[in-house]
């Protein structure tokens, strides 16, 4: 059974002119346990919305999303929050670190809503991403690359089965982008997490063995969707 | 634990806003507690102070003025009464003790009161407590120009045993009205925390026969302090009837507590205005908590969205905002006790200087429990509106950018 299974997923938004605009229309999509997959798509193509739907941040209009055997649509919001905290790690393009919290606290806070705070593991994660000497630094005291590494550590804090990465290299220079993708993949592999990364950057996508066109998936092509 | 951590972090991140808002709560709480406490203690103390007497007999006039003049050493005397009036009431079988007093002079603003030694030796200014002298002092000799000085006056005027002074005519100090007589300080009273502390006591005849005073007044007194016998429960009613209803020459102010309670009835409107002001300040403080947190919600929306992405529930964030609001008001109330202490100490200092009555800032009043509780609850309630906003924060919309 795949880790992530999506079927007949539809999400529409009402445009300012009142017309309905279907952003997501995925007939079928699966992701195996521990698989690393990159989705290629241009800006505005609905990649973030797709990840938000998977993470339970948005509710679909119709269709089903099953993660680790749990159907999202059958869960109430508190259970979806719990599933997100326990099963999914999220890496944002802008990292979304909490500015008032130190590196260590950012990672610990990620744990607090999931499996519970484990300071030793949080320090191990930060050490793994090369920030053992920055535990008590605040995000503003770190370089962009370092901030992203904190975000990677936080995403893995609850030992998630699935890591969603939304344009994680969007704010990095090519050299750091390459190192960053390598780090994310290694960290996911070491922690046994599947990785679903979306990006429009060809250099980033080239680091993946499996890359798919998001537009083809979103058009409902089932051949493109089975990964 | 997580909730408290988030609340603490948020308070620290918005430290300036937190401090300003907490300060406004502190002012409101401090004001509320001090207004209530000072009012309650003043009323209890002023209606409780009677210098050990039940009534005051004086010239025809206001009972309140008579009591203020004779017991609190405030206000002018409404007039004099004849020595024979004093002797009459002294001989009354229902009277345990009658002490005459004469006023009309001051020493640099502090009242000089002529009396007999009975005031110190027979009267108890509080149950079981008589006036006592500080070490080395003596009571004045009724036939000599000697003075016993209240503790407060002694400290303020730096008067000590053996010092001499010239009284000034009238109750208000005027340098030109100095009497030629010289008085010697022979005793200083131990603090009694009563109006007696801010008086200079001299023999009755000293006032009556002071140079420049009308010789016709030499046989008159300003008032008579009266203690009724405990086994004559109707004595007060009888004397009230005799002096106030049947007579028209004298006033019998009895009971002293009731007379003083009339004063507080008269100034009750002032207390209500003060209470209203403190209520308004409390409302403003509550509104400032609401405004402070609500205005910061825009900048917090992204943070809230991030926390939601990490798995925080809506209810958790709702609780965080409520707790934050309650924490600000709790911090404010802790500081409010300091504000209370400052306001009370200043007010008590003024009251003591003016009346000799001592108010105690550490004396418990129920307002010290209900005012903090009400303000903390109000503060938490003020957090409801921003908490609802946090609860309804759209995660996806606030997790910019969207690719």
Residues B238 and B334 in one domain: no
B306, B310, B398: best to mutate for the A interface, most A CBs within 10 A: B310
Whether B232 and B311 map to the same domain: the answer is: no
B334 and B374 fall within a common domain: yes
Same domain (yes/no): B273, B246: no
Q: Hey, are the CB atoms on B396 and A55 less than 8 Å from each other?
A: no
pLDDT value of position B53: 93
Instruction: Look up the domain containing B7 and give its range.
Output: 2-46+267-398
> Where does a domain end: B200, B226, B254?
B254
Asked if residue B81 and residue B217 are part of one domain, the reply reads: yes
Residue-wise pLDDT for B101-138, tens only, equals 999 899 999 999 999 999 999 999 988 899 999 999 99
Same domain, B236 and B167: yes
Assess if residue B312 is contained within a domain.
yes
Residue B282 and residue B248 share a domain? no
Global pTM exceeds 0.95: no
Mean pLDDT rounded to a whole number for chain B: 91
Final residue of a structural domain among B205, B225, B254? B254
Are B216 and B362 in a shared domain? Answer: no
Residue B359 lies in a domain: yes
Contacting B residues, span 289-348, partner chain A, CB-CB under 8 Å? 302-303, 306-316
B77 with B23, same domain: the answer is no
- Please tell me the predicted confidence (pLDDT) of residue A191: 87
CATH ID of A34-60+74-213, from 3.40.50.740, 3.40.50.300, 3.40.710.10, 3.40.190.10:
3.40.50.300
State ipTM.
0.86
Percent residues over pLDDT 90 in chain B: 67
Q: Is residue B259 in some structural domain? A: no
Q: Measure CB to CB from residue A92 to each of B5, B315, B399 and give the nearest one.
A: B399
Q: Is residue B261 part of a domain?
A: no
Number of domains making up chain B? 2
Q: In this structure, is residue B260 part of a structural domain?
A: no
Which pLDDT band holds residue B402 (cuts at 50, 70, 90)?
A: very low
Report the range of poorest mean pLDDT among B55-64, B89-98, B152-161, B217-226: B217-226
Does residue B247 fall inside a structural domain?
A: yes
Q: How confident is the model at residue A224 (pLDDT cuts 50, 70, 90)?
A: very low
Looking at the structure, tell me whether residues B233 and B134 fall in a common domain. Answer: yes
Model confidence over A168-193: pLDDT tens digits?
A: 888 788 888 888 899 899 989 988 99
- In whole numbers, what is the pLDDT of chain A averaged over residues? 89
Tell me: pLDDT of B182 over 70: yes
Condensed to tens digits (0 to 9), the pLDDT of residues B292-313 reads 899 888 888 888 999 998 889 9
Boundary-marking domain end, from B195, B221, B254: B254
Is B169 found in the same domain as B237?
yes
Please check whether residues B315 and B281 belong to one and the same domain. yes
The tens digit of pLDDT for each residue in B208-261 reads 778 777 766 678 999 999 999 988 778 999 999 999 999 889 999 999 989 988
| Confidence class for position B100, pLDDT limits 50, 70, 90 | very high
Within a domain: residue B93?
yes
pLDDT of residue B400: 63
Within a domain: residue B250? Answer: yes
Residue to mutate among A113, A115, A147, A160, with most B CBs inside 10 A, is: A113
Quote the DSSP letter at residue B246: I
SS3 per-residue string spanning chain A: CCCEEEEEEEEEEECCCCCEEEEEEEEEEEECCCCEEEEECCCCCCHHHHHHHHHCCCCCCEEEEEECCEEHHHCCHHHHHHHHHHHEEEECCCCCCCCCCCHHHHHHHHHHCCCCCCHHHHHHHHHHCCCHHHCCCCHHHCCHHHHHHHHHHHHCCCCCCEEEEECCCCCCCHHHHHHHHHHHHHHHHHCCCEEEEEECCHHHHCCCCCEEEHHHHHCCCHHHHEC
In angstroms, the separation between the Cα of residue B302 and the nearest Cα of chain A is: 8
**What does the pLDDT average to over B74-92?**
91
- Do the Cβ atoms of B399 and A167 come within 8 Å? no
Specify the pLDDT at position B205: 87
Residue-wise pLDDT tens digits, B260-272:
888 888 888 888 8
């Amino acid at each position: 059974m795949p880790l992530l299974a999506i079927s007949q997923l539809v999400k529409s938004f009402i445009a300012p002119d009142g017309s309905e605009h279907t952003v997501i229309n995925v007939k079928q999509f699966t992701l195996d346990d521990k698989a690393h997959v990159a989705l290629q798509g241009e800006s505005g193509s609905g990649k973030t919305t797709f990840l938000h739907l998977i993470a339970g941040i948005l509710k679909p209009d119709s269709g089903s999303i099953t993660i680790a055997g749990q159907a999202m649509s059958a869960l109430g919001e508190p259970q979806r929050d719990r599933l997100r905290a326990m099963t999914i790690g999220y890496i944002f393009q802008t990292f979304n670190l909490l500015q008032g919290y130190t590196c260590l606290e950012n990672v610990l806070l990620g744990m607090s809503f999931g499996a519970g705070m484990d300071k030793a593991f949080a320090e191990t994660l930060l050490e793994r991403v090369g920030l053992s000497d920055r535990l008590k630094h605040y995000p503003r005291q770190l370089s962009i690359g370092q901030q992203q590494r904190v975000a990677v550590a936080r995403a893995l804090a609850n030992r998630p089965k699935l890591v969603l990465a939304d344009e994680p290299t969007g704010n990095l220079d090519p050299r750091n982008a390459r190192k960053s993708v390598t780090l994310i993949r290694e960290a996911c592999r070491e922690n046994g997490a599947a990785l679903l990364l979306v990006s429009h950057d060809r250099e980033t996508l080239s680091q993946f063995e499996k890359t798919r066109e998001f537009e083809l998936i979103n058009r409902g092509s089932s051949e493109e969707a089975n990964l | 634990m997580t909730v408290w951590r988030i609340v603490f972090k948020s308070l620290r991140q918005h430290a300036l806003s937190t401090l300003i808002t907490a300060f406004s709560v502190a002012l409101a709480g401090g004001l509320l507690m001090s207004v209530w406490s000072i009012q309650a203690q003043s009323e209890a103390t002023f209606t409780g102070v009677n210098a050990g007497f039940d009534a005051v007999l004086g010239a025809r006039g206001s009972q309140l003025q008579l009591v203020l003049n004779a017991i609190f050493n405030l206000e002018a005397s409404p007039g004099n009464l004849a020595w024979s009036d004093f002797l009459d009431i002294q001989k009354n079988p229902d009277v345990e003790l009658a002490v005459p007093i004469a006023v009309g002079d001051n020493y640099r603003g502090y009242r000089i009161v002529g009396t007999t030694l009975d005031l110190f030796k027979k009267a108890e200014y509080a149950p079981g407590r008589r006036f006592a002298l500080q070490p080395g002092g003596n009571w004045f000799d009724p036939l000599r120009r000697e003075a016993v000085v209240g503790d407060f006056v002694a400290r303020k005027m730096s008067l000590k045993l053996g010092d001499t002074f010239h009284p000034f005519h009238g109750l208000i100090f005027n340098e030109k009205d100095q009497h030629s007589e010289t008085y010697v300080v022979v005793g200083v009273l131990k603090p009694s925390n009563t109006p007696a502390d801010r008086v200079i006591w001299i023999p009755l005849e000293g006032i009556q026969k002071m140079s420049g005073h009308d010789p016709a007044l030499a046989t008159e007194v300003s008032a008579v302090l009266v203690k009724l016998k405990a086994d004559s429960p109707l004595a007060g009613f009888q004397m009230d009837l005799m002096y106030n209803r049947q007579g028209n020459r004298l006033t019998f102010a009895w009971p002293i507590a009731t007379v003083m309670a009339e004063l507080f009835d008269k100034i009750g409107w002032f207390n209500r205005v003060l209470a209203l002001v403190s209520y308004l300040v409390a409302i403003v403080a509550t509104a400032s908590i609401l405004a402070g947190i609500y205005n910061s919600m825009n900048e917090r929306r992204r943070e809230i969205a991030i926390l939601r992405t990490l798995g925080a529930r809506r209810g958790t964030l709702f609780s965080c905002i409520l707790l934050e609001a309650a924490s600000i008001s709790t911090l404010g109330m802790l500081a409010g006790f300091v504000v209370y202490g400052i306001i009370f100490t200043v007010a008590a200092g003024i009251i003591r200087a003016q009346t000799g009555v001592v108010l105690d800032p550490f004396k418990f009043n129920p307002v010290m429990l209900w005012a903090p509780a009400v303000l903390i609850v109000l503060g938490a309630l003020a957090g409801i509106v921003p908490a609802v906003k946090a609860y309804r924060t759209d995660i996806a919309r606030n997790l910019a950018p969207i690719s």
